[in-house]
Structure 1
Amino acid sequence: MQTLLSQKFTAYVGIDWADIKHDVCLQVAGETRRHFSVIDHTPQSIDRWAKSLFERYGAPIAIALELNKGPLVAALQKYEFFCLFPINPSTLAKHRKTFIGSGAKDDPTDAQWALELLLTYPLRFPQLMPQSPAMRVLASLTEHRRALVNERVRMGNRLICTLKQYYPLALELFSDHDTVMFCDFLMCWPTLDHIQRSRQSAFLKFFNEHNARRSQLNQARWEIISKAIPLTQDPGVIRPSQLYATALASQLKGLLAIIKDFDREIEETANTLADYPIFKALPGAGQHLAPRLMVAFGEQRDRFNDASAMQRYAGIAPVTQRSGKKKLVYWRYQCSTFLRQTFVEWAAHSITQSTWAEAYYRQQRAKGCSYQATLRGLAFKWIRIVYRCWKTSTVYDEKAYLQALIRRGSTLIEIPMEEASG
């Protein structure tokens, strides 16, 4: 992992970014004078500015900025003579507040504060080293997919809430309310009156076309429909709700199709990366979480010095604060929510797929730990295991790990050695 001290730069730049323009503070190597300027957020302006710096000062040039991804980072990474050093926005804000008690803030001075932090504490800010194009594509795909899944949940909840107001029978007929079949049903029969006026043959044909051919279940559904009475007959409720439910069902169906497209793209991209077998073999990771776990660790083996660094980066390790005889352990807020969510979700899935994970879960719950605290503790343990697999490029072996637990006399496993060895 490269830092500012490991290289010699011809110039140092601090940037305060914005949507329309970026404030720049520049200091030439060996000088103390600082120069301020503004560049527009357009490809042409950024290109002219970058090339002019290279013509005047040569390479390499160190740039301190408040983000590690986004349009400005993508634009600057095109130039090989730039070395980017991200600085956490909260770090910059606290540094500014230390010297400006009034809380005054200005973009040019923020660029200067970023530059000053980089020059004063060079070991604190490692250089941004981009992953391979395939890994960056996978990282964006997994984040966008998760956003789409969140939107699917929100849209599904709105649809359920709407149906409860005028058409609760539709919810009773289906156990899953976020499927293409459920959406098609609502678009075909958006009210109780529509479904009760339809023929049984058309009703059964619908389920056959959607590969739901359980005749007894479909017959029971039809009997429920025949005996159903409307929740309300008020046209002021039914007609607006019908239009809204149909619109939501149409949007939800489209969203489900898009998520499937993302799943295919993620699987194809993940299979091109050499480390994918390591994460695909993890218990409970599956098609959706294995790519996310691989993105979390990345490709650069020197990215984390040890497993604890990864635990802190993922937000799984708690924060400990000591002062005299006082000790506080609390939730880590400065981390990626998406990253922490990845490990916690995987820990939950691993309980039914890993012997020792299930034993740990039961032990912690028996001690009175909450469900979420237990999952975070399990994720904490898993990260140490996966970190070792990742560093050594070794696929996780459940039987080998169980044997190691038995040799250490761990309370997590209480099976004979011959059973663990298969």
Structure 2
Amino acid sequence: MTLATTARYTAYIGIDWADRKHDFCLQVAGGDTQESGVLEHTPEAIERWATTLHKRFGGPIAVCLETTKGPLVNALLRYEFFALFPVHAATLAGYRKAFSPSGAKDDPSDARIALDLLLRHPERLQALRPQSSSMRMLTTLVEERRQVGDAIVRITNRLGSVLKLYYPQVLDWFEHRNTIIFCDFLTRWPTVMHARRARATTLQAFFHAHRCARKGLVAERIESIRSSTPLTEDPAIIRPAQLTMQTLVAQLRVLIEAIDDFDEEIAGISKEVPDYELFASLPGAGHIQAPRLLVAFGEDRDRFIDAAQVQCYAGIAPVIERSGNRCWIHWRFACSTFLRQTFVEWAGSTVTRSAWAGVFYRQQRSKGASHGVAIRALAFKWIRILYKMWKTRQPYNEATYLDALRRHGSPLVVPAG
């Protein structure tokens, strides 16, 4: 862990980044005079600015900014003489509020505040340490894949609402809507009347071509199609809904194919990261969750002091507030939603794949906890195991862990014998 206090820097810079320009405030090491300026967000301007600073101060130069990733971070990481110290937006906002109770905000003043935080509280900041190219690529891939998955959910939900206006039967004919077979069916038979006019042999050939060979299921679908009745025959409803449906299906098809491309790329990159097999050994991880869990911990084993830090960083640990005689617990807001989703979704999949996890979940529910609370509690417990596994580089073994639980008389397992 590299803190701002562990090295001497030739200059200190606070930056308030934006889309087209970045305000910065600079102070020379050992001096008390500050310089302010504006950096245009172009590769050429950043190159000139960085080169000028290096000729003037040499290195290293400490830079405090309100982000851990993005175009500016990518650009500054090219230069070895910059040491980047990211600060959370909430931290900077709180620091600003301490000196501006009115809530006034300005980009140049935010740059000065970032510089002041870097100079006065360096022990609170940790230097950004870039991971390997494979890990950084994997991080971006799993995050973008999640974005594509969320887009599929949004489109399928809207598609379902549109189909309910004029073609609700098709929603019963297909269990899953985020599939190519669903898209192809709607493209070929966009209304109930189109589907009813199709020959039974044509429908059979369609389902067989899409690897749906269960005779009972195919026959049931065909019978339902032949006996279906239009919900409405009003062209003022059908035609606009049909065009909307076709637009959504076209988008859905592209996204489904994109998911396959992402999965293929993630599978290839994951094999280049040494720790991948550690997380692939986990129950329920699979080809989707294992890379996400790997990204959550990363390669730097000095990144987290203990499991509790991981629990807080991922937003799994709740926040406790006390004031006088009052004490209350609430949801942690300042965290990565993606990481929280990663741990919660994977923990939920272990309920049926891990003996002790299933027992723990049922115990939580029997105490009155909701499904969400029980799964978050399970994720909280799992992170302790994952942290130890990650630090020691030892793959998870269910039998070994169950034996340890038995030795300690844990209520999560039935004593042997």
Q: TM-score category by the smaller chain? A: over 0.9
Name the CA distance, whole Å, in 2 between partners of 1:171 and 1:103: 51
3-state SS of paired residue (2:383): helix
TM superposition shift of 1:166: 0.5
Name the CA distance, whole Å, in 2 between partners of 1:258 and 1:8: 47
- Over 3 Å counting, the alpha-carbon distance change for 1:217 and 1:101 in structure 2 is closer
- Which residue in 2 is equivalent to 1:376? 376
Determine if the alignment matches structure 1 residue 22 to structure 2 residue 22. Answer: yes
TM superposition shift of 1:92: 1.1
- Which residue in 2 is equivalent to 1:296? 296
Q: How does 1:128-167 map to 2 (within 5 A)?
A: 128-167=128-167
Q: How does 1:16-95 map to 2 (within 5 A)?
A: 16-95=16-95
- Which residue in 1 is equivalent to 2:239? 239
Q: How does 1:222-371 map to 2 (within 5 A)?
A: 222-371=222-371
Name the CA distance, whole Å, in 1 between partners of 2:328 and 2:170: 51
Name the CA distance, whole Å, in 1 between partners of 2:353 and 2:128: 36
TM-score by length of 1: 0.97
Q: Give CA-to-partner distance per residue, 1:256-281, whole Å, 9 cap, x none.
A: 01001001111111111100011001
TM superposition shift of 1:324: 4.1
Name the CA distance, whole Å, in 2 between partners of 1:322 and 1:170: 54
3-state SS of paired residue (1:38): strand
- Which residue in 2 is equivalent to 1:420? none
Contact 2:409 2:415 in 1 (8 A): no
Name the CA distance, whole Å, in 1 between partners of 2:219 and 2:153: 30
3-state SS of paired residue (2:315): coil
Q: Give CA-to-partner distance per residue, 1:69-117, whole Å, 9 cap, x none.
A: 0000000000000000001111111111111222221111110100000
Q: How does 1:178-197 map to 2 (within 5 A)?
A: 178-197=178-197
Q: Give CA-to-partner distance per residue, 1:368-419, whole Å, 9 cap, x none.
A: 11111111111111000010010010001111111110111111111416xx
Q: Give CA-to-partner distance per residue, 1:188-230, whole Å, 9 cap, x none.
A: 0001111122222111111111111122222222222222211
Contact 2:180 2:256 in 1 (8 A): yes
One-letter code aligned to 2:411:
T
Percent identical across equivalent pairs?
52
- Which residue in 2 is equivalent to 1:10? 10
One-letter code aligned to 2:288:
H
TM-score by length of 2: 0.98
One-letter code aligned to 1:384:
R
The farther-off stretch of 232-241 and 77-86 is: 232-241
- Which residue in 1 is equivalent to 2:414? 414
Name the CA distance, whole Å, in 2 between partners of 1:172 and 1:103: 54
Name the CA distance, whole Å, in 1 between partners of 2:305 and 2:247: 51
The alignment's C-alpha RMSD in Å is: 1.0
One-letter code aligned to 2:224:
I
**Runs (4+) off by over 3 Å:** none
Name the CA distance, whole Å, in 1 between partners of 2:23 and 2:318: 36
Q: Give CA-to-partner distance per residue, 1:246-301, whole Å, 9 cap, x none.
A: 22112211110100100111111111110001100111111111100000000000
Contact 2:61 2:82 in 1 (8 A): yes
Name the CA distance, whole Å, in 2 between partners of 1:187 and 1:224: 19
TM superposition shift of 1:172: 1.9
Q: Give CA-to-partner distance per residue, 1:2-39, whole Å, 9 cap, x none.
A: 01110110000000111111111000001000001111
Name the CA distance, whole Å, in 2 between partners of 1:286 and 1:217: 29
- Which ranges of structure 1 fall in alignment gaps of 5 or more residues? 418-422
Name the CA distance, whole Å, in 2 between partners of 1:216 and 1:89: 57
Name the CA distance, whole Å, in 1 between partners of 2:302 and 2:390: 11
